[in-house]
Amino acid sequence: MTDEHALVARLRAGDEEAFVLLVRRYQARLLRLARTVVADGAAAEQAVRDTWLAVVGGVGRSERSAFTTWLFHLLLVRARTASDPVRRVAVPDRATDDRFDASGAWSTPPVPWVERIDDRLAADKLAVRVHEILATLPDPERQVVVLRDVEGLTADDVSELLGLTDDGQRALLDGARERIRHQLAVDLEQG
């Protein structure tokens, strides 16, 4: 796969193919993030289109941060403009779960799934259920989980993108993960 820095350099030079490759690489990710901010699918898609237009017009200004961080920032600005004001969620005032370290990463990573077909089928069902639970989370928690756990952004990048303190970002992430874990445990008990 072509290096991101090289693609951005080519885009700055006016290479249309570089733009197409960047769209292919990030389109689904941008739409997934937009849907955490904008409930209406058409508005989320419009926010993504507006983001790509902004990329073409402002790619020369993306040097102050990583391209991915800049791209997600552009999207969040456009998605927030297209939606109602983001609901604010009180940051829980509780100790951080000991399953995660100070940066929000797993202290002890979960054991990888074995490669048996039964486990793959269970994992597929679990992924669908996690997606359903994720949709019920308050917007800020859902956005933090999508950016950290799905998109793999760093805690610093997520804090910057969402305008949160490090502690606030960590608390939202911990709270969201705990809600997901709790609902999965309830589902398991109910059979």
Judged against a pLDDT cut of 90, whether residue 113 lies above it is answered with no
At residue 13, the pLDDT reads 83
At residue 120, the pLDDT reads 61
Rounded mean pLDDT of 160-184? 91
At residue 90, the pLDDT reads 42
* Ranges of H-type helices in the chain: 4-12, 16-37, 41-58, 67-82, 117-136, 139-145, 155-162, 166-190
Architecture of the 117-190 domain:
Orthogonal Bundle (1.10)
Rounded mean pLDDT of 26-39? 90
Q: What is the pLDDT of residues 47-98, one digit of tens each?
A: 999 899 888 877 666 555 688 888 998 899 888 887 654 443 444 433 445 6
| Sign of the CA dihedral running 137, 42, 149, 128 | positive
At residue 80, the pLDDT reads 85
At residue 165, the pLDDT reads 92
Of 153, 172, 174, the C-alpha closest to 164 is 172
At residue 89, the pLDDT reads 41
At residue 111, the pLDDT reads 57
pLDDT band at residue 158 under the 50/70/90 scheme: very high
At residue 169, the pLDDT reads 92
pLDDT band at residue 176 under the 50/70/90 scheme: very high
41: left (phi > 0), else alpha (psi -120 to 50), else beta?
alpha
Determine the Cα–Cα distance for residues 38 and 139; give it in Å rounded to an integer.
9
pLDDT band at residue 25 under the 50/70/90 scheme: very high
What's the token pair of residue 152? 């793999």
Determine the length of the chain: 191
Answer whether 4-82 and 117-190 agree in fold. Answer: no
Average pLDDT of the residues of the chain: 79
Say if domain 4-82 classifies as CATH 1.10.1740.10: yes
Least confident window among 16-25, 84-93, 111-120:
84-93
pTM for the model: 0.57
At residue 97, the pLDDT reads 54
pLDDT band at residue 185 under the 50/70/90 scheme: confident
Q: What residue spans define the domains of the chain?
A: 4-82, 117-190
